[in-house]
A and B are shown apart, each in its own frame.
Chain A
């Protein structure tokens, strides 16, 4: 990066500066001895040319739209198009959520994103004993295609993309989407959207569990294959670091485990389905967390793009630049928000959103200030959305692409993130891949270690959370309006489900489910069978029960 002459000069000057620092701190000690990121990565007092002297501009940095895509996939950056303002929402019944969606589309939101309630997320019906007390609480309840049709009523499926945060039952929900589109006369080739459909991070972090890792990956490869063939505009997976981070991982762990998950899916689709990497890789998408440590997050996102581009080109011999692009959605960190003095959360979210934007995200969800306390109120959601719009249109940060490139600190930190991530990736390679590593409990333990350490640092005030361990307001009263789903939703949904169960053709349904089971046993792609089943009013649970029966049920091994 630099001439010898400059480096010599710089090192002399640095020496001088260091002497000066020593003198000063001999008299006035620093406020604390060790300065580190929220992930406990130690940061130097200053960075200079020496810290990035081994970088090669063409090889390591380049311009946007050029390998290794450190500075972004698109040549035009945010001038062509801002990121998608995508706010996650869902609650109560499908009809209520549909109403909310229509409202959101009038506020300038450009993509929809669905939160499902816990029974739906876990593949249980509202009438399952396991679902008691949970219906509609943290998202929308979907049991059958009838609910799904209500959910998307009046939404132009060929124009608006919808993201569905759904994992074990992803095939069932996607089948409902496909079947509904067909019934509306919209061909599968025209619909676009995303299913999260990332089971590895569930085992690692989020614990929405159904079947063991191996068959779970198989189901995901089915969706990748089906999407490649019939639904080419659909992102069949959103490989997620968000939840890994929320579970207590460091930034490096989030980066490494997420990318290694991505590699596992790529390898499985190639091996199991015989696909060429470039047939499906352009539709892989990622989902990261934007935590509170500003520069660490920017470095993480930049490093992510560079690692993925290299991995695709070098590990998998991908020829198509679209496969090299890492496209990702970002959500600000729920775990950084506090129930204490909740209005401070607006500030946290703004800083995190700014980091996501400077890291070059393609899509963003900003958390609402009240999310730690309850379901977000309309007003809180509005502030969160306005935060994004404000960053985009007032602050001027979108004027130029990747404005932090070339910063000694940001580039050095980006390099450090990448190096440390590769270390993890190689370690997991040596274990035999991510499924094997999960089986050993490796990523789970690493995250638990980090989470425990962080909590101890909070307790010791080595890390600060305002309102929690510093600047505490005694006797604070929280004046947040509470939005709550009352229990009548459960009764209503139970009635809806019962009505569907009364009207459907039981014999036809049983046949569909049997076919699905056989497809599972034979290793065939389950998607066509799922679509047939949901058309015949199979419930989400009925489909998942077939999987549980054939593949076995996976219970939380409780590694900690």
Chain B
């Protein structure tokens, strides 16, 4: 594992991708490599792109990569797609829209499957961000799976969250009220060629103006609403994505200037600690219980009402945590 982290720190792409894979596959001892790496992280600006399935997240990410490259940034992309609940397999389809960057050594794109995680990203995303970070990518873009209102784990990992909305989805505004408002630092109105884009823009703007404050922990930041030109107008599209890039960077600068970044980092780090605790404490126990079939015996007790989940959990805890 040390060998691997050494290579990653030297900038070896394959090794980095393998390390991310070890994290995804939960290979034992991967934490040793991460221990080496953790101290060197924290330099990159992490941008989350989220929104409904098919909203144009990947298409935007693709163009955003161009915009950042133009400015001299290096870019890492973590693109998350859903795992099939039936087979455990996945079609990782985001990457296909970003293929033109394949040979650009300043860009590293890695596709991840959710592997059953429900929050719109995969469990490995947080650590994968660290890996991208030590590869010295200055911008790390995380594209979530097409999410509904519940899948908002991205806020635990990104400094800036951009929420993509498109006209014609019917109940956008409802959704906004319900959840996305809470996580957005920037709203993007996409697919400007579609009927209703102007209307959606106005509605979103109204809503943003009505809400008192950014709930996402950035006091005083007025959530901007950006209308991105249609991808069908390539030149204008590129220009408006450059404007988006500048807005994203402005938000990051705002966090820094107003000492808000640390707050986000705290949240992010807390989430990571949670994950690590889960991984180190709970996971081995669960593995143990599964390995010797104990889990089935416990479940049997519940089915026959011989015990209840709370008592059993307490029993297990007292056995393992002496």
| A558 near B232: Cβ-Cβ < 8 Å | no
B binding-site residues for A, Cβ under 8 Å: 54, 91, 93, 96-97, 99-100, 231-234, 237
| A558 near B96: Cβ-Cβ < 8 Å | yes
| B232 near A552: Cβ-Cβ < 8 Å | yes
| B99 near A555: Cβ-Cβ < 8 Å | yes
How far is it, in angstroms, between the C-alpha of A212 and the C-alpha of B321 when the chains are bound? 61
Given A557-B96, A558-B96, also A440-B54 (CB < 8 A): yes
| B100 near A555: Cβ-Cβ < 8 Å | yes
| A82-106 to B contact mask, C-beta < 8 Å, 1/0 | 0000000000000000000000000
Q: List 6 A-B contacts (CB under 8 A).
A: A212-B232, A214-B232, A440-B54, A551-B234, A552-B233, A558-B93
Closest Cβ of chain A to B150, distance in Å, is 24
Closest Cβ of chain B to A96, distance in Å, is 35
Chain A residues, Cβ within 8 Å of B97: 555, 557
A binding-site residues for B, Cβ under 8 Å: 212, 214-215, 440, 551-553, 555-558, 560
Chain A residues, Cβ within 8 Å of B96: 555-558
How far is it, in angstroms, between the C-alpha of A558 and the C-alpha of B234 when the chains are bound? 20
Chain B residues, Cβ within 8 Å of A212: 231-232
How far is it, in angstroms, between the C-alpha of A556 and the C-alpha of B232 when the chains are bound? 15
| A560 near B91: Cβ-Cβ < 8 Å | yes
How far is it, in angstroms, between the C-alpha of A212 and the C-alpha of B54 when the chains are bound? 17
How far is it, in angstroms, between the C-alpha of A491 and the C-alpha of B234 when the chains are bound? 36
Chain B residues, Cβ within 8 Å of A551: 234
Closest residue of chain A to B96 (Cβ to Cβ) is A558
Chain B residues, Cβ within 8 Å of A440: 54
Closest Cβ of chain A to B104, distance in Å, is 16
Closest residue of chain A to B238 (Cβ to Cβ) is A552
Chain A residues, Cβ within 8 Å of B91: 560
Closest Cβ of chain B to A152, distance in Å, is 36
Closest Cβ of chain A to B233, distance in Å, is 8
Chain B residues, Cβ within 8 Å of A557: 96-97
Known: A215-B232, A555-B99. 11 other contacts (CB 8 A): A212-B231, A551-B234, A552-B231, A552-B234, A552-B237, A553-B234, A555-B96, A556-B96, A557-B96, A557-B97, A558-B93
Closest Cβ of chain A to B30, distance in Å, is 31
Closest Cβ of chain A to B53, distance in Å, is 11
Chain A residues, Cβ within 8 Å of B237: 552
Chain A residues, Cβ within 8 Å of B93: 558
Closest Cβ of chain B to A433, distance in Å, is 12
* Residue of A440, A551, A558, A560 with most chain B CB atoms under a 10 A cut-off: A558
Chain B residues, Cβ within 8 Å of A553: 234
Closest Cβ of chain B to A132, distance in Å, is 16
How far is it, in angstroms, between the C-alpha of A551 and the C-alpha of B100 when the chains are bound? 17
Interface SS, A side? loop
Closest residue of chain B to A214 (Cβ to Cβ) is B232
How far is it, in angstroms, between the C-alpha of A440 and the C-alpha of B96 when the chains are bound? 16
Closest residue of chain A to B59 (Cβ to Cβ) is A557
Closest residue of chain B to A555 (Cβ to Cβ) is B99
Closest residue of chain B to A440 (Cβ to Cβ) is B54
Closest Cβ of chain A to B82, distance in Å, is 15
How far is it, in angstroms, between the C-alpha of A337 and the C-alpha of B178 when the chains are bound? 55
* Residue of B91, B100, B231, B232 with most chain A CB atoms under a 10 A cut-off: B232
Closest Cβ of chain B to A420, distance in Å, is 26
How far is it, in angstroms, between the C-alpha of A560 and the C-alpha of B93 when the chains are bound? 9
Closest Cβ of chain A to B175, distance in Å, is 19
Chain A residues, Cβ within 8 Å of B231: 212, 552
Closest residue of chain B to A553 (Cβ to Cβ) is B234
Chain A residues, Cβ within 8 Å of B233: 552
Chain A residues, Cβ within 8 Å of B100: 555
Closest residue of chain B to A549 (Cβ to Cβ) is B234
Chain B residues, Cβ within 8 Å of A215: 232
How far is it, in angstroms, between the C-alpha of A13 and the C-alpha of B233 when the chains are bound? 66
How far is it, in angstroms, between the C-alpha of A6 and the C-alpha of B100 when the chains are bound? 68
Closest Cβ of chain B to A521, distance in Å, is 10
How far is it, in angstroms, between the C-alpha of A325 and the C-alpha of B295 when the chains are bound? 71
How far is it, in angstroms, between the C-alpha of A517 and the C-alpha of B97 when the chains are bound? 27
How far is it, in angstroms, between the C-alpha of A215 and the C-alpha of B234 when the chains are bound? 12
Closest Cβ of chain A to B197, distance in Å, is 14
How far is it, in angstroms, between the C-alpha of A440 and the C-alpha of B56 when the chains are bound? 11
How far is it, in angstroms, between the C-alpha of A214 and the C-alpha of B93 when the chains are bound? 23
Chain A residues, Cβ within 8 Å of B54: 440
Closest Cβ of chain B to A559, distance in Å, is 8
Closest Cβ of chain B to A324, distance in Å, is 32
Instruction: Give the top 4 A-B pairs by smallest Cβ distance, nearest first.
Output: A552-B234, A558-B96, A212-B232, A214-B232
Closest residue of chain A to B234 (Cβ to Cβ) is A552
How far is it, in angstroms, between the C-alpha of A551 and the C-alpha of B235 when the chains are bound? 9
Closest residue of chain A to B235 (Cβ to Cβ) is A552
Chain B residues, Cβ within 8 Å of A560: 91
How far is it, in angstroms, between the C-alpha of A476 and the C-alpha of B99 when the chains are bound? 41
How far is it, in angstroms, between the C-alpha of A214 and the C-alpha of B230 when the chains are bound? 12
Closest Cβ of chain B to A519, distance in Å, is 17
Closest Cβ of chain B to A91, distance in Å, is 31
Chain B residues, Cβ within 8 Å of A214: 232
Chain B residues, Cβ within 8 Å of A558: 93, 96
Closest residue of chain A to B95 (Cβ to Cβ) is A558
How far is it, in angstroms, between the C-alpha of A198 and the C-alpha of B299 when the chains are bound? 61
Closest residue of chain B to A441 (Cβ to Cβ) is B54
How far is it, in angstroms, between the C-alpha of A557 and the C-alpha of B98 when the chains are bound? 10
Closest residue of chain A to B62 (Cβ to Cβ) is A555
Closest residue of chain B to A548 (Cβ to Cβ) is B234
Closest Cβ of chain A to B237, distance in Å, is 8
Closest residue of chain A to B93 (Cβ to Cβ) is A558
Closest residue of chain A to B195 (Cβ to Cβ) is A432
How far is it, in angstroms, between the C-alpha of A215 and the C-alpha of B100 when the chains are bound? 21
How far is it, in angstroms, between the C-alpha of A214 and the C-alpha of B96 when the chains are bound? 21
Closest Cβ of chain B to A44, distance in Å, is 33
Closest Cβ of chain A to B168, distance in Å, is 9
Closest residue of chain A to B97 (Cβ to Cβ) is A557
How far is it, in angstroms, between the C-alpha of A553 and the C-alpha of B93 when the chains are bound? 19
How far is it, in angstroms, between the C-alpha of A551 and the C-alpha of B96 when the chains are bound? 20
Chain A residues, Cβ within 8 Å of B99: 555
How far is it, in angstroms, between the C-alpha of A556 and the C-alpha of B98 when the chains are bound? 11
How far is it, in angstroms, between the C-alpha of A560 and the C-alpha of B97 when the chains are bound? 14
How far is it, in angstroms, between the C-alpha of A558 and the C-alpha of B93 when the chains are bound? 8
Closest Cβ of chain B to A419, distance in Å, is 29
Closest Cβ of chain B to A190, distance in Å, is 39
